[in-house]
Structure 1
Amino acid sequence: MKILITGGAGFLGTQLARALLRLGHFRGQPIERLTLADRVAPAHPEVVADARVAADVGDLLQRMPALLAGAQDVVFHLASAVSAECEADFDLGLRSNLDATRALLDGLRQQAMRSGQLPVLFFSSSVAVFGSDPGIPLPAVIRDDTFPTPQSSYGAQKFICEQLIAEYTRKDFLDGRVARLMTVSVRPGRPNGAASSFLSGIIREPLAGLPAVCPVDLDTAVALASPANTVAGILAVAQADREALGGRTAINLPALTVTVRQMLQALEAVAGKETAALVTLSPDPAIARIVGGWPAHFDSPRAAALGLKPDASYRAVIEQYIADNKTTG
């Protein structure tokens, strides 16, 4: 089995690569090659040292023909310009999110025509596809049949990609699966350009003894998932048979709903008052508008049918982050 991960050197791509390499098999076949495509080379020692791993470094849109010149059995399409970036630079979002995805879809379609075998494509979408529209107000709880009405460029681009993948699947050009990921917290490393970046930063930085800024009201509710739970959801959706998926439309992965205040209370319970005091409140209306427009409460029976559950508590998420950081750091 040959697998491609776009965005493979990023945090989530690296976590997914490690999980796949440890499994050794995927969809009943041994993993022969795992190609990680990104703007930078993978750096995690466990990934770099594995002989099955190949790195493809460069601009994804430009590299697409070479990436698909050899048949890929499974593609995990994680690469994306993130929320705040897309809002600030509309053309960047169109190129990185729409153009690259369209090129990938057409490349896989051509591959299927040559081989007669449908490649599997997993696409990481986002809860940013949901928003409140005057014609279709956002419900208190997002269900599997809630209609997306994105209110950001990033959310709109993700929803367009969802529909394209559903159409290519309907036409039997590929076997597409889409999961809407919750905000992943706690992410290690440096902040990125996502509007949700602070939802890791207000935990990660204080635990490292560094100050952090919270740009939203403390009572802002958010839907989160730990890195481990997110990867488990990706793998489950990518491996499920079509009947178990319950359709071509995107699946909402399980969400742990907490307020920012509850996150900081969990931080204090785990690491003490002095650590929690390193977080200061400094409102950013632009970030607050984007994050405040995202839904926080989900009812996801399709994900539950695949055996997926939310994280038990945010305290458990923090404790897992600390344990993982000690192991890898």
Structure 2
Amino acid sequence: MHILIIGAAGMVGRKLTARLVAEGGIKGRSLEKLTLVDVIKPETPQEFAGVVVAREADLSTQGEAEKLIQSRPDVIFHLAAIVSAEAELDFDKGYRVNLDGTRYLFDAIRIAHDQDGYRPRVVFTSSIAVVGAPLPYPIPDDFHLTPLTSYGTQKAISELLLSDYTRRGFFDGIGIRLPTVCIRPGKPNKAASGFFSNILREPLIGQEAVLPVSEDVRHWHTSPRSAVGYLIHAANLDLETVGPRRNLSMPGVSATVGEQIEALRRVAGDRAVRLIRRVPDEMIMKMVSGWAPGFEAKRATELGFTAEKNFDEIIRVHIEDELGGSL
């Protein structure tokens, strides 16, 4: 089996690569080749005995998508995107990377299908940003797409393209609406949602963190471990059981910022909580006011997707996976 990961240098891409190598394949087939692509060259997993191609490429450049599928990968994980705040600040870049790159990929596969019947499994990372206020709680699976950001709009359009290209038989696609991934390891990024991770990650290692919103903000979360689990489960699924509605809201944990902080207190104590500094940010507060508080995720749960049950679990996953299992 040949697997292509576009966006392989990002946090989820790196963890997905490691998990695929550790598990040795998907869909009952042995993993023989990995192609890892990003705008910066991804690291090569040293422990993988098969063929690895790691290369620098920008999917939003015309002609790159055709090169990526020239070797006809069996499964394509499309993770490449710029994050929400960057897409909002740079309108042209957001549409070029998040929409045009996706369309180029889908069209390259369509042309290859017309040439020789090529029909891969495509797993696309969408986002809960495809919905926006006013929102019920919990949000049902059949809630209409109401994005209130450019990022959410770009993901919503891509979802529609995925459904149509799948309907036409060009590829076998599934879209995974990721909750906000928390706690993200590493340094803060440009995502407007980054503070959800920052207010936990930094205090866990004794560093100060800034909270730009009020503690009553409620949102939908998942751990990096569960996010990777969604992707692999999506690649393994018999998509005939999914039906024509190929974009799924994933299960997760609904919590207010205050509940996050109390979970941090239970796991790491008052000293960690005291490292959180309140600095209101009007732009971020405006953006989060329309964000999803939580989903039913009934379809995904019935299809076998799983996540943590509470924020204590999410924090402990971070400690296990990133901090050696203890504070």
Shorter-chain TM-score: what band?
over 0.9
Q: Offset at 1:213? A: 0.3
Q: Offset at 1:276? A: 1.1
Answering whether residue 205 of structure 2 is matched by residue 204 of structure 1, we say no
> 1:162-201 counterparts in 2 under 5 A?
162-201=159-198
Cα distance in 2 between the residues matched to 1:98 and 1:266: 37
The letter for the 1-side match of 2:227 is: T
Please tell me whether the aligned partners of residues 7 and 78 of structure 2 are also in contact (alpha carbons under 8 angstroms). Answer: yes
Range with greater deviation from structure 2 (269-278 or 84-93):
269-278
Look up the match of 2:60. 61
Please tell me whether the aligned partners of residues 59 and 104 of structure 2 are also in contact (alpha carbons under 8 angstroms). Answer: no
Range with greater deviation from structure 2 (236-245 or 74-83):
236-245
Look up the match of 1:50. 48
Instruction: Give the percent of matched residue pairs that are identical in Structure 1 and Structure 2.
Output: 41
Please tell me whether the aligned partners of residues 252 and 309 of structure 2 are also in contact (alpha carbons under 8 angstroms). Answer: no
The letter for the 2-side match of 1:54 is: V
Please tell me whether the aligned partners of residues 173 and 246 of structure 2 are also in contact (alpha carbons under 8 angstroms). Answer: no
| TM-score, length of structure 2 as denominator length | 0.94
For the residue of structure 1 that corresponds to 2:323, the secondary structure is: helix
Cα distance in 1 between the residues matched to 2:290 and 2:46: 39
> 1:15-26 counterparts in 2 under 5 A?
15-26=15-26
Look up the match of 2:130. 129
| Cα deviations by residue, 1:83-139 (Å, 9 ceiling, x for unpaired) | 00010000010110111001100111122223323111111000000012xxxx422
Number of residue pairs matched by the alignment: 323
Please tell me whether the aligned partners of residues 222 and 252 of structure 2 are also in contact (alpha carbons under 8 angstroms). Answer: yes
| Cα deviations by residue, 1:150-172 (Å, 9 ceiling, x for unpaired) | 00000000000000111101111
The letter for the 1-side match of 2:176 is: A
| Cα deviations by residue, 1:169-205 (Å, 9 ceiling, x for unpaired) | 1111111110100000011001111110111111111
Range with greater deviation from structure 2 (96-105 or 290-299):
290-299
Look up the match of 1:317. 314
| Cα deviations by residue, 1:229-277 (Å, 9 ceiling, x for unpaired) | 1111122122211232243331000020011111111111111111111
Cα distance in 1 between the residues matched to 2:190 and 2:130: 18
Look up the match of 1:118. 119
| TM-score, length of structure 1 as denominator length | 0.94
Please tell me whether the aligned partners of residues 132 and 290 of structure 2 are also in contact (alpha carbons under 8 angstroms). Answer: yes
For the residue of structure 2 that corresponds to 1:14, the secondary structure is: helix
Look up the match of 2:101. 100
Cα distance in 2 between the residues matched to 1:78 and 1:116: 24
Say if 1:208 and 1:139 are closer, same or farther in 2 by CA, change over 3 A: same
Alignment counterpart, residue 236 of structure 1, candidates 219, 233, 238? 233
Q: Offset at 1:67? A: 1.3
Q: Which runs of 5+ in 1 are unaligned?
A: none
The letter for the 1-side match of 2:48 is: D
Please tell me whether the aligned partners of residues 74 and 121 of structure 1 are also in contact (alpha carbons under 8 angstroms). Answer: yes
For the residue of structure 2 that corresponds to 1:91, the secondary structure is: helix
Please tell me whether the aligned partners of residues 184 and 224 of structure 1 are also in contact (alpha carbons under 8 angstroms). Answer: yes
Question: How large is the Cα RMSD of the aligned pairs?
Answer: 1.7
> 1:235-314 counterparts in 2 under 5 A?
235-314=232-311
Cα distance in 2 between the residues matched to 1:257 and 1:282: 23
The letter for the 2-side match of 1:180 is: R
